[in-house]
Chain A
Amino acid sequence: MPESVINNDQRYIDGLLKNDDKIIAAIYRNFAGKINHWICANSGTSDDAADIFQESIISIYRQAKDKKLMLTCPFEPFFLMVCKRKWWNELKKRSRQGVTISLESVSETGQEPEALASELMMMEEKDLLIQQFFRQLGERCREIISQTLSGEHQEKVAAKLGVSYAYLRKKKSECMGKLTMMIRQSPEFKNMKGPH
Chain B
Amino acid sequence: MNAPSRLGVRALRDRIAAGELTAADVAEASLRRIAEVDRRLAAFVRVDEAGAREAAASIDRDRKSGRTLGPLAGVPIAIKDVLCTRGLGTACGSRILEGFVPPFDATCVARLRAAGAVLVGKTNMDEFAMGSSTENSAYQVTRNPWDLGRVPGGSSGGSAAAVAADEVVAAIGTDTGGSIRQPAALCGVVGMKPTYGRVSRYGLVAFASSLDQAGPFGNSVEDVTEVLQVIAGHDPQDATSARQPVPDYRAAAARGAGGLRIGVPREYFPQGLDREVYEAVRAALAAAGRLGATVEEISLPHTDYAIPTYYILATAEASSNLARYDGVRYGSRAQEAHDLASLYVASRSRGFGAEVKRRIMLGTYVLSSGYYDAYYLRAQRVRTLIRRDFDAAFRNVDVIVTPTSPSAAFRIGERVDDPLAMYLSDIFTVTLNLAGLPGLSMPCGLTRERLPIGLQIVGRPFDEATVLRLAAALEPEIGFGAQRPRLPEETASEALP
A and B: bona fide binding partners: no
